Amino acid sequence: MCGGLAARRLQFVTTMQVVLAIPVAGLIVGAAAGLAWPDIPFAWLVAALCGWALLALHATRVGRATLLAACACGAFAVGGALLAAAAWQDAWRPPLRIIFESIARDTRAELLHSGRQPPVDDTAPVVVTGVLRTDAAVTAGGAVSLAVDAEWVGRLSSSARDIDVDTNPVRGGVLLTVLGSLGREHLAEWTAGRRVRAPADLRRPARYLDPGVPDQERALARRGVSLVGTVKSAALVTVLERGSPAQEAAASLRAFTRRALSASVGHWSPRASAIVAAIVIGDRTGLDDEVERRLQESGTYHVIAISGGNIALLAGLTLGLFRLAGVLGRAAMLSAAAGLVAYGFVVQGGASVNRAVLMACVFFIGRAWDLRGPPFQPLVLVAGILVLADPLSVVDAASLLTFGATAGILAVAPALQGQRVPRFLFPAASMLAASLAAEVALLPIAAFFFSRVTVAGLLLNFGAIPLMAVAQFAGMAVVPLFAVAPAAARVAGGVAAFGAEGLVRTADLVALAPWSNWRVALPSLWILAAYYAALLIAWLLWRVGHHPRLRSCAITACVLSGGCIATGVDVPWRSTAHGRLSVTFIDVGQGDATLIRFPMGSSMLVDAGGLGGRGAFDVGDRVVGPVLRALGVRRLDTLVVTHGDADHAGGATSVLRDFQPHAVWEGIPVPPHPLLASLHQQAVAERTQWTNVQRDDRTEIDGVEVVVRHPTLPEWERQDVRNEDSIVLELRWRAVSFVLAGDIGRTSEDEISRSFVPAPLRVLKVPHHGSLSSSSAEFIAALSPQVAVVSAGRSNPFGHPARAVLERYDKSGTAIFRTDTDGAVTIDTDGNTLDVRTFAGETREFRGWRLELEVGGWRLEDGSPGAQRRRRVDGGR
């Protein structure tokens, strides 16, 4: 009798698990499809829904349960696609974006009417009113960031505090940067929930149109941010209304927590104070960029982000306290759930905290009503709720990491319970198996979203997770102790500092094994699908214990696809040596970065972009690196730093670290310059050859002649970086010449223009981003380029490229391409023709003219389609 009841209960639980998984799986797949193809006609989806309904009716009549389940999955998939497509349209073009575009069109028309050149991207001076989404945060550059849920915007009138009376209500997120030194003084006033008003220059978010680089504008839109803007001074930001009592109380508690941690933990280590603040209340504004990078490389970054692990520890602590008190009934479970909801409201950790709190609440509520079931069931339930609430979460990296890691751990949990492991080894064995399962499940996600693969976390998590628990619990103890006993709070702060500093020390161990983490190219979707399909088939066959040969094939396919992901090569037999010279002008915003791939596979990077001021965004790591990996470059042969300006050399540090070039070329040394000095020290530490090149230096790479046209050695030691000292390179191959002119001005142009030999096909990287101080008419006439490429940032404050400069090239018959409008520009050549492709999709072909003349004793002949030949005709050496 009991056995029959147990069997029926098991059958019921299994059935419920399958029944729940079917619609959730359909929702997830449909939402992903709706985001991949958001413009799919609505009528098609309605027709598909009707088709599934008719098929389900037929399945019900004939009693086909499997067909009915498939129909239910398909119907929910259509619903998920509808939800996701609607959510994306609302996120991409909310009312705020529509009103902004209308104002921007009027602003552009006014500029054109006044004879001024409008920026490439839409910009508009407006007044914004909205509610602060989170507390104000200090950026890496010293400004203050405000995340605002806009309620309405209006045109900026003559007075900064006036708005048009015709302004309509809007909805959408905007990220404002408050400039000036006054921002820090107002941090306490700008807290979540308060309504503010400020005049701002709104614009579209920055984006880099390059292969392999994620679209940051779309990523921000998925997080609810449609526009960004700047406010000139904190004095212009007005607080119109305070938040609700609950919001004000939560803000006060967060402020008190920051003070307590700063005084108690910061007494021992300011760095530890920032780490503990990130763990306890999710405030990562004080974290050092280097610390974050080291934690990411070690695979332990997850411990400082409030997510599932932190909430699980807090839930475990709550259960432990209730157990000690002898209370484990329904009231205790509901109280624990309410406490976690309150904690999530206070810390404002965003979607990751909400997911973790929801999971914990499902667990506690299930315990309260004794709703027991398989471990996967609450995970599936939470996934379904989240997709219904936010369909965009199916492509959110944090969501995928959370559910992927949890699913991986749950997948191996039954196997762990059946193993005969000594009791004293079971905790360590369980943690190792769970960590390994999570790494296997997350390998494609980490490669796709972060271009990084690390195996260091398998071992480092043994220390990182306990140390995180120490920092979290001790940090939480600091807050109440600081109110009643500051001395005791300082002791607890010392314990928290020990845990936080221990996290950093464990991350430092990666330096002893640099092979344990590496960067990879963005994997293609088909290789990701192959990996997960093979992994799922292998796991299912392992669970049922049948078809060992098929299981072996699935495991082999999983290993092969995983190897392709881990090496960053979708097709292992593809070679980077394609017999052509390829030059890619990378879109790095207002800066320069040019990748050269030579005919036999050698590579050279000329400059690495960078931001002009202080900032946390590393162009070398976030833009240049992904482009190089996407184009098949795993290690550079040469890195050329034309000069030390941040927009040319700022990204070189990351490039030098990740791509380990064999040699670095520098022009005129500037010993006092901190960026160049740091780069030189890094090159010495990594045993990279450092060479100072000057005019008339030349070498040959894969049959391509590389000539240094500038600079000449100075008569005195430079104390500052100068644009006129830029390295100018010419690449000559058969009938083609590429000239990379750095940031030189007219003085240097006059010096070097006579050194160029005419070429049937010439490509010029326009000097100094198209500034008025460069590209003289004489220089353009001397080089006679067929193609000119301008590397400039969208809506840059310098007005590059200048209209007069563009007109000069246009009058000379030169085809102009621009990274700010065309994105990355790639020019391939076989030595006789030029094939130009832009990231925006434009393609053009250029052919040379027959050339036969003598210059300085050299004859250039372009007699046949084969190759241009160069030979001496005067008998001299």
Position 652 confidence tier, pLDDT thresholds 50, 70, 90? very high
529 and 511 co-located in one domain: no
Quote the pLDDT of residue 570. 67
Same domain, 273 and 218: no
Q: Specify the range with the lowest mean pLDDT, choosing from 335-339, 529-533, 776-780.
A: 335-339
> Residue 573: inside a domain, yes or no?
no
- Whether residue 710 has pLDDT greater than 50: yes
Q: Looking at residue 854, what is its pLDDT?
A: 38
Q: What tokens appear for 90 in the block?
A: 């609302």
- Tell me the CATH number at 168: 2.40.50.140
Q: Give CB contacts under 8 A, 24+ apart, made by 42-51.
A: 42/82, 45/78, 45/81, 45/82, 48/74, 48/78, 49/75, 49/78, 49/79
What is the pLDDT, as a whole number, of residue 419?
Answer: 63
Q: What integer pLDDT is reported at residue 677 of this predicted model?
A: 93
Residue 114: inside a domain, yes or no? no
Out of 63-72, 239-248, 473-482, 690-699, least confident range: 63-72
Q: For position 425, what pLDDT does the model report?
A: 73
pLDDT bucket at 286, cuts 50 / 70 / 90: confident
What is the residue whose two structure tokens read 């005084």? 263
Question: What confidence category does residue 94 fall into, taking pLDDT thresholds of 50, 70 and 90?
Answer: very high
> What's the pLDDT at 293?
78
Residue 622: CATH number of its domain = 3.60.15.10
**Same domain for 346 and 435:** yes
Binning the chain into helix, strand and coil, the percentages to the nearest 5 are 50, 15, 30
In a domain, 831, yes or no: yes
Q: What is the mean pLDDT of residues 793-807?
A: 91
Beta carbons within 10 angstroms of residue 225's beta carbon: 20
Residue 99 lies in a domain: no
Does residue 865 surpass a pLDDT of 50?
A: no
725 and 678: one domain?
A: yes
Residue 580 has pLDDT above 60, yes or no: yes
From 130-144, 326-340, 578-592, the region with the lowest mean pLDDT? 326-340
As a whole number, mean pLDDT of residues 368-388 equals 79
DSSP 325-374: TT--SHHHHHHHHHHHHHHHHHHT--HHHHHHHHHHHHHHHHHHTT----
Domain boundary among the residues 209, 243, 277 is at 243
Q: Is 80 exceeded by the pLDDT of residue 673?
A: yes
Name the least confident of 186-190, 263-267, 421-425: 421-425
pLDDT for position 165: 39
Per-residue model confidence as pLDDT tens digits over 599-641: 999 999 999 999 865 556 899 999 999 999 999 899 999 999 9
pLDDT(871) > 50: no
Q: Is position 857 within any domain?
A: yes
Looking at residue 660, what is its pLDDT?
A: 93
| 78 and 164 fall within a common domain | no
Identity of the residue numbered 816: I
CA–chain centroid gap for 489, Å, is 38
Give the C-alpha separation, 595 to 603, whole Å. 7
- Strand runs (DSSP E) across 602-662, as ranges? 603-606, 638-641
pLDDT band at 858 (very low <50, low <70, confident <90, very high): very low
What's the rounded Cα separation, in Å, for the pair 754 and 773? Answer: 19
If you average pLDDT over residues 335-362, what whole number do you get? 81
Structure tokens at 759: 């070429």
Q: Tell me what percent of the residues of the chain surpass a pLDDT of 70.
A: 89
Number of domains in the chain: 5
pLDDT tens, position by position, 499-511:
999 988 888 877 7
Stretch 729-733: mean pLDDT: 97
Q: Do residue 507 and residue 640 come from a single domain? A: no
Among all chains, which residue has been given the structure tokens 């590429």?
A: 738
Q: Are residues 838 and 808 in the same domain?
A: yes
Query: pLDDT for 518-527, tens place per residue?
Result: 888 888 888 9
Least reliable range by pLDDT among 231-245, 440-454, 563-577: 563-577
Give the residue numbers spanning the domain of 536. Answer: 525-567
Identify the domain boundary among 180, 208, 243.
243
pTM: 0.85
Closest CA to 606 of 621, 624, 629: 624
Q: Render pLDDT for 446-490 as a digit per residue (tens, 0 to 9).
A: 888 888 888 887 778 788 888 888 998 899 999 999 999 999 999
**Is residue 863 very low, low, confident or very high in pLDDT (cuts 50, 70, 90)?**
very low
177 or 319, which is more confident = 177
Residues 507 and 591 in one domain: no
Residue 836, beta-bridge partner list: 827, 844
Question: Residues 175, 203: contact at Cβ < 8 Å?
Answer: no
Half-sphere exposure of 136 (CA within 13 A, CB side): 24
**163 DSSP 8-state letter:** B
Same domain for 235 and 297? no
Q: How confident is the model over 774-779, as a mean pLDDT?
A: 96
Model confidence over 813-855: pLDDT tens digits?
999 999 999 999 999 999 999 999 999 999 999 987 543 333 3
Looking at residue 849, its pLDDT comes to 56
**More confident site: 603 or 45:** 603
How far apart (Å, rounded) are the C-alpha atoms in residues 682 and 645?
Answer: 18
Whether residues 624 and 553 share a domain: the answer is: no
Tell me the DSSP string of 550-590.
Answer: HHHHHHHHHHHHHHHHHHT-SSTT--S--SSEEEEE---SS
Residue 15: pLDDT over 60? no
pLDDT value at residue 70: 87
Asked if 533 and 593 sit in the same domain, the reply is no
Q: Contact at 8 Å (CB) between 326 and 319?
A: no
Least confident of 442-446, 567-571, 686-690, 725-729: 567-571
Q: Is the pLDDT of residue 759 over 60?
A: yes
Is 465 inside any structural domain?
Answer: yes
Across the range 296-322, mean pLDDT stands at 75
β-pair partners for 854: 859
Average pLDDT rounded to a whole number, residues 788-803: 92
**% of the chain at pLDDT higher than 90:** 45
Q: Give the tens place of pLDDT for each residue, 407-435.
A: 888 887 776 666 676 776 767 777 778 78
The arithmetic mean of pLDDT across residues 121-133, rounded, is 90
The pLDDT of residue 4 is: 53
For residues 40-63, give the mean pLDDT.
87
Given a cut of 90, is residue 117 above it in pLDDT?
no
- SS3 for 838? strand
Does residue 572 belong to any structural domain of this protein? no
Same-domain check for residues 79 and 131: no
Mean pLDDT of 548-553: 88
User: 101 lies in a domain?
Assistant: no
